[in-house]
C-alpha cells in the first residue's frame, strides 16, 4: 500500500491514539506505507517527527535509550503523542473528527 | 550517560542545527548579491533597459527590466530546487502536498505572492528609486515584521533576548550601509515610490516567513519551498510577463535573447545561491522559529558587503567594521540564549 497524503499528515494520525506511539514504530509504519526504503529515508521521516515536536504539534511523553538497536544503537527513542494544538491543526488537515 | 543529559544533548543539537541552517542562509543570500549585481550589466538585460528607457524613461524601464530578471531568477531557482528534491527522492511527497491545496499548499502559494511580487520586486524598486544601500537597510527590518506576526498569529515564543539580538543585527546593518544611506537620502530628490518599495520588501519578506511557518507545521520544508517557487514562477511567467508583453513592452524578445553563455552562467549562479539560501531559510524555521531564523538570516547584510568587496575589489570603509561588530554581538546574543525553554517553539 502506498500512502497518498503528505507524510506529516499521516504521522499526526498515527500519534493520535491513547498513549502515543514510539518514533521507531511510526518510522517503520511510514516506510512500509509509502514504500520508502533505506536509512536516509528512515532518518528523514524521523526528522519530520522532530519538526512536528518542535512546532508544538507533538510532545514526547516517554523516552528511552536504544540499547538493542531497534532504531539506532545508543540513540534516544521518543514516544510521541499529539497535543491539543496539534489536534486543532490536524483537524484542518487530515483528521476527520475533533 | 543518563536519560536527562541525553535528552538535553539532543535538544541542543536540534537548536544548533537550526542556527546553522540560518547562518548558511545568510552566507548564500550574501553570495547571491554577486550574480544579482552582475546580471544588470549583462545582455540582454542591459540592452533591454536602454531600449525601454529611451521611450518610457529610466524609472519604468528599471521596474520592467527588474520583472524579467526576477522571473529568470525564479526560473533558475526552481530548476535548482528540482535537482535538490530529485536527489532527496521527494517528488512523491511534492505531488502529495500539491494535491492538498486547502490545508497545505495554499500557504506556500500565498507565501509566493508576498515573497515574489511584493518583497523581491519591492527591493528592486527601492534599489532603482532610492539606491542599493537604502534597499538593503529597508529589507533588514523584515524579521521585526516576521517575528511579531508569528508571535501574534500562532503564538510563537520569541524571547526578549532574541528580539535584542535582532535589534543589534539591524543596527549593525544600518551602520554597514550608513555612509551610502546618508548620501542616498541626502540627494533630496528621493521619490516616494522608492520608500514604498522599501516597505514592500520588509513587509513582504516578514509576511512570507510567517505564512511559510504556518504551512511548514504540516509540510516538508524542501517540498513547501519548491511549491512556493512554483507559485512565483506562475506569477511571473503566466501572469506578469505576458501582461507586460500585451502592454507593448519587449518582454518576449529579450527573454529569448537570454541564451548567452555568460548570462546563463550568472543566472545559474543566482539560481543556486538564491535557491539554497531559501532551502536553508525554510529549514531553520521549524527548528528555531521564524523570528530567530530571520534574525540570523539578516546577517546577509554583512556577508553581502564582504563578498562584494572580495569579488569587485570595493574597499570597505570603517563603517563595515563597526557594523560587522554589532552584527556579531547580535548573533552571539541569539546563539548563546538558554534554549532550555525551547522544547516547543509554541506556547502551550
Report the pLDDT value the prediction gives residue B332, as an integer from 0 to 100.
82
| Cα–Cα dist B26/B295, whole Å | 10
**Predicted-complex ipTM score:** 0.90
Q: Are the beta carbons of B220 and A6 separated by less than 8 Å?
A: yes
| Region label for B188, one of left (φ > 0), alpha (ψ between -120 and 50) or beta (otherwise) | left
Supply the pTM of this predicted model.
0.89
CB B345 within 8 A of CB B289: yes
B217: chain A residues, CB-CB within 8 Å: 8, 52, 55, 57, 89
Best residue in A56, A64, A94, A96 for a mutation probing chain B (most B CBs within 10 Å): A56
- Say if residue B136's pLDDT is above 80: no
Interfacial B residues in 279-298 facing A (CB < 8 Å): 286-287
A70 exposure class (CB count in 10 Å sphere: 0-12, 13-18, 19+): middle
Q: What is the mean pLDDT of chain A?
A: 87
Task: Quote the minimal CA–CA distance from A48 to chain B in Å.
Answer: 7
Residue B137 Cα distances to B57, B64, B65, B160, angstroms: 26, 23, 22, 22
Q: Express each pLDDT in B165-191 by its tens digit.
A: 888 888 888 887 776 667 766 665 556
Interfacial B residues in 65-94 facing A (CB < 8 Å): 88-89, 92-93
**Vertex A29: Cα angle to A27 and A35 (nearest 5):** 95
**Helix (H, G, I), strand (E, B), or coil: what is residue A21?**
strand
Describe the strand order of the beta sheet including A21-22 as a list of residue ranges: A21-22, A76-82, A58-65
Look up residue B221 and give its three cell numbers. 520544508
How many beta carbons lie within 10 A of that of residue A28, not counting itself? 15
Q: Which residue of A has its CA nearest to B102?
A: A93
Which residues of chain A have a Cβ shorter than 8 Å from any chain B Cβ?
3-9, 12, 34, 36, 40-41, 44, 48, 50-57, 59, 63-65, 76, 83, 85, 89-90, 92-94
Q: Are the beta carbons of A6 and B7 separated by less than 8 Å?
A: no
**pLDDT mean over B151-155:** 85
Q: Are the beta carbons of A55 and B216 separated by less than 8 Å?
A: yes
CB B2 within 8 A of CB B273: no
A83: chain B residues, CB-CB within 8 Å: 348
Burial B252-270 (b: 16+ CB within 10 A, else e): eebbeebeeeebeebbebb
Q: Express each pLDDT in A39-98 by its tens digit.
A: 999 999 999 999 999 888 999 899 998 888 888 888 889 999 999 988 888 887 766 544
Per-residue pLDDT band at B73 (split at 50, 70, 90): very high
Best residue in B218, B282, B347 for a mutation probing chain A (most A CBs within 10 Å): B218
Q: Express each pLDDT in B267-286 by its tens digit.
A: 999 999 999 999 999 899 88
- Can you name the residues that pair with A63 across neighbouring β-strands? A78
Helix then strand then coil, % of chain A, to nearest 5: 50, 15, 35
Q: Are the beta carbons of B104 and A48 separated by less than 8 Å?
A: no
What sign does the dihedral A13-A14-A18-A19 (CA atoms) show? negative
Report the pLDDT value the prediction gives residue A97, as an integer from 0 to 100.
47
Residue A70 Cα distances to A28, A34, B9, angstroms: 10, 20, 20
First-to-final CA distance of chain A:
27
Look up residue B317 and give its three cell numbers. 570603509
Task: Quote the minimal CA–CA distance from B103 to chain A in Å.
Answer: 5
Report the pLDDT value the prediction gives residue B187, as an integer from 0 to 100.
64
Q: Which residue of A has its CA nearest to B7?
A: A76
| Cα–Cα dist B79/B72, whole Å | 11
Amino acid at each position: 500500500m502506498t500512502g497518498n497524503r503528505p507524510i506529516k499528515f499521516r504521522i499526526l494520525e498515527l500519534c493520535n491514539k491513547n498513549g502515543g506511539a514510539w518514533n521507531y514504530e511510526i518510522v517503520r509504519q511510514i516506510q512500509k506505507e509509502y514504500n520508502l526504503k533505506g536509512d536516509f529515508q528512515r532518518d528523514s521521516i524521523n526528522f519530520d517527527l522532530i519538526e512536528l515536536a518542535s512546532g508544538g504539534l507533538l510532545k514526547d511523553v516517554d523516552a528511552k535509550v536504544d540499547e538493542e538497536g531497534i532504531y539506532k544503537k545508543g540513540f534516544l527513542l521518543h514516544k510521541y503523542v499529539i497535543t491539543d494544538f496539534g489536534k486543532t491543526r490536524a483537524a484542518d488537515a487530515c483528521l476527520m473528527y475533533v | 550517560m543518563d536519560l536527562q543529559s541525553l535528552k538535553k544533548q539532543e535538544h541542543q543539537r536540534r537548536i544548533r542545527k537550526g542556527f546553522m541552517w540560518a547562518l548558511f542562509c545568510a552566507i548564500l543570500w550574501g553570495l547571491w548579491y554577486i550574480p544579482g549585481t552582475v546580471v544588470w550589466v549583462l545582455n540582454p538585460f542591459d540592452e533591454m533597459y536602454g531600449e525601454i528607457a529611451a521611450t518610457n524613461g529610466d524609472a519604468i524601464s528599471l521596474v520592467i527590466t527588474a520583472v524579467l530578471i526576477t522571473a529568470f531568477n525564479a526560473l533558475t531557482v526552481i530548476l535548482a530546487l528540482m535537482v535538490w528534491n530529485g536527489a532527496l527522492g521527494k517528488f512523491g511527497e511534492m505531488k502529495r502536498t500539491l494535491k492538498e491545496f486547502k490545508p497545505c499548499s495554499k500557504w506556500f502559494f500565498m507565501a509566493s505572492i508576498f515573497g515574489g511580487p511584493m518583497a523581491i520586486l519591492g527591493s528592486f524598486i527601492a534599489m532603482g528609486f532610492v539606491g542599493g544601500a537604502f534597499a538593503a537597510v529597508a529589507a533588514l527590518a523584515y524579521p521585526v515584521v516576521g517575528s511579531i506576526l508569528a508571535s501574534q498569529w500562532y503564538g510563537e515564543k520569541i524571547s526578549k533576548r532574541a528580539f535584542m539580538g535582532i535589534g543589534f543585527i539591524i543596527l549593525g546593518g544600518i551602520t554597514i550601509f550608513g555612509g551610502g544611506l546618508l548620501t542616498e537620502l541626502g540627494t533630496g530628490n528621493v521619490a516616494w515610490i522608492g520608500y514604498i518599495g522599501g516597505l514592500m520588501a520588509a513587509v513582504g519578506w516578514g509576511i512570507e516567513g510567517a505564512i511559510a511557518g504556518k504551512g511548514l507545521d504540516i509540510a516538508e520544508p524542501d517540498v513547501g519551498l519548491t511549491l512556493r517557487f512554483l507559485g512565483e514562477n506562475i506569477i511571473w511567467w503566466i501572469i506578469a510577463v505576458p501582461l507586460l508583453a500585451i502592454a507593448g513592452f519587449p518582454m518576449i524578445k529579450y527573454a529569448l535573447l537570454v541564451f548567452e553563455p555568460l548570462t546563463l552562467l550568472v543566472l545559474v549562479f543566482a539560481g543556486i545561491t538564491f535557491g539554497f539560501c531559501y532551502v536553508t531559510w525554510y529549514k531553520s524555521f521549524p527548528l528555531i522559529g521564524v523570528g530567530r531564523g530571520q534574525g540570523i538570516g539578516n546577517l546577509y547584510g554583512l556577508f553581502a558587503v564582504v563578498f562584494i568587496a572580495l569579488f569587485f575589489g570595493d574597499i570597505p570603509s570603517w563603517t563595515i567594521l563597526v557594523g560587522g561588530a554589532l552584527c556579531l554581538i547580535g548573533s552571539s546574543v541569539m546563539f548563546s540564549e538558554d534554549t532550555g525553554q525551547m522544547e516547543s517553539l509554541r506556547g502551550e
